[in-house]
Structures are given as C-alpha cells and as structure tokens.
Amino acid sequence: MTLLALIRHAPTTWNAEGRLQGRRDTPLSEDGKAALQTWAAPKALAAFDWVASPLGRTRETARHLTGRPVQTDPRVIEMDWGEWEGRTRKELSESLGDDFQENETRGLDFTPPGGESPRMVQARLASFLLEIGQAKRPTVVVTHRGVIRAAASLATGWDFMGKPPVKGIHGTYNMLRVDAQGGLTVLAFDVPLDQEPEA
C-alpha cells in the first residue's frame, strides 16, 4: 500500500465568488496569495514525490509548498464544467430551473453541457492511481476540489448524493492509501496543513 496525499490549491477570486472554475486558468487571488504564504507542508511529506495539475493555481501552490517547480499531470486537472464554467450554482438554478435540479440528482453522472461527470473524472484518475500503486512511491498531488471529491467517492463508495465525506477545504490535506490495483482507502480527510499525519 502506498501513501497518497491530496492538497487543494490556494483560493482564487472565483472561489470567493462561488464560480465554477473548471479548466479556466484563473490565478490565485490576493487573499489566496496571502493565505498561501502562511501554508507549510507537513514535514512527513517532504520525502514524497510531488505532482500538480497543469493549471497555474495548483502549480503556484505546489511551488510554494516545495520551494521548487513540480511535475504536472493532466489526469489530475479539475473537472470540466463545459458551458457552465464561470457561472454560480445560484445563476444556473435560476436560469435552468428544474433541468438543473434534475441533472444534480444524477449523482456520479451529473454532467454539465460539454463538460465532464464525476464518473468521467474517476475514469481518468484510474491509470494515475494504478501507476502510483504499482510504483509504491508515496505521492502528494496538488489538485482541485472536484478531483478530491472524485477520489473520495472511489475510496468510500459515496455516489455524489447527500453529504460528501470530504469538504476539500483550502489549507488542508487528505491522506489515502493506494493498493497495487489502484484502489483507494481513507486514512484522514481535511487535515490542517500544520498537522503532521498520524503514524
């Protein structure tokens, strides 16, 4: 079993406004940059391999936490929100009404027009997780809330209906184990970055 830590990037203006970012390469906000300066990775993660989503907000977060640029992997990029990118859930609910609500009841198969469902995110994560599990190299991934939620679903069986098992809070990490087949088990969710993993 191989350790895997998932860290969400520091905040952006669109995070503060509740906008769906998806693949839009939105930069960290001034508040996000200020928050990032207070972040430090747990010492236990220093010897891990580090990987980031290709988007700037994750690369900047990873660079701060490691003190160097880290390699990127497109399989850990945020969920594609398609035509809904840049909009808020309130805006979508008001403009689409019952159609939006019906889409949300699809759980893992909730799919924005022209975008990805959570199940599709899980599918592109599968080969990434298998590589980590077979390489047996502990890894930190600086990624996005949608990816963290997709991984949490794989680990817990949550179907994206009802209360999620993970909040994906900024300034925290989520620790899992990956087996040789790429399967996930949970060690801890939403752990503050200033807290070392439990032995």
Domain that holds residue 89: 2-192
Cite the beta strand spans of the chain per DSSP E.
Answer: 2-8, 49-52, 71-72, 139-143, 172-178, 184-192
Q: Is residue 16 part of a domain?
A: yes
Q: Is residue 79 part of a domain?
A: yes
Q: Is residue 100 part of a domain?
A: yes
pLDDT averaged over every residue in the chain: 95
Query: What pLDDT score was predicted for residue 199?
Result: 63
Single out the residue of 146, 185, 171 nearest to residue 53, CA to CA: 146
Whole-model pTM?
0.95
Q: What is the pLDDT of residues 116-169, one digit of tens each?
A: 999 999 999 999 999 999 999 999 999 999 999 999 999 999 999 999 999 999
Q: Is residue 198 part of a domain?
A: no
Q: Is residue 187 part of a domain?
A: yes
Give the chain's domain count.
Answer: 1
Q: Is residue 117 part of a domain?
A: yes
**Catalytic residue numbers, as ranges:** 9, 78
Residue 14 belongs to domain with CATH number:
3.40.50.1240
DSSP-assigned letters across all residues of 54-99: SSHHHHHHHHHHHSS--EE-GGGSPPP-GGGTT-BHHHHHHHHTHH
Q: What is the pLDDT of residues 50-62, one digit of tens each?
A: 999 999 999 999 9
Q: Is residue 197 part of a domain?
A: no
Query: What pLDDT score was predicted for residue 58?
Result: 98
- Please report, rounded to a whole number, the percentage of residues in the chain having pLDDT higher than 70: 99
User: Locate tokens 């969400």: which residue?
Assistant: 8
Q: Is residue 132 part of a domain?
A: yes
Is residue 151 within 8 Å of residue 176, measured between CB atoms?
Answer: yes
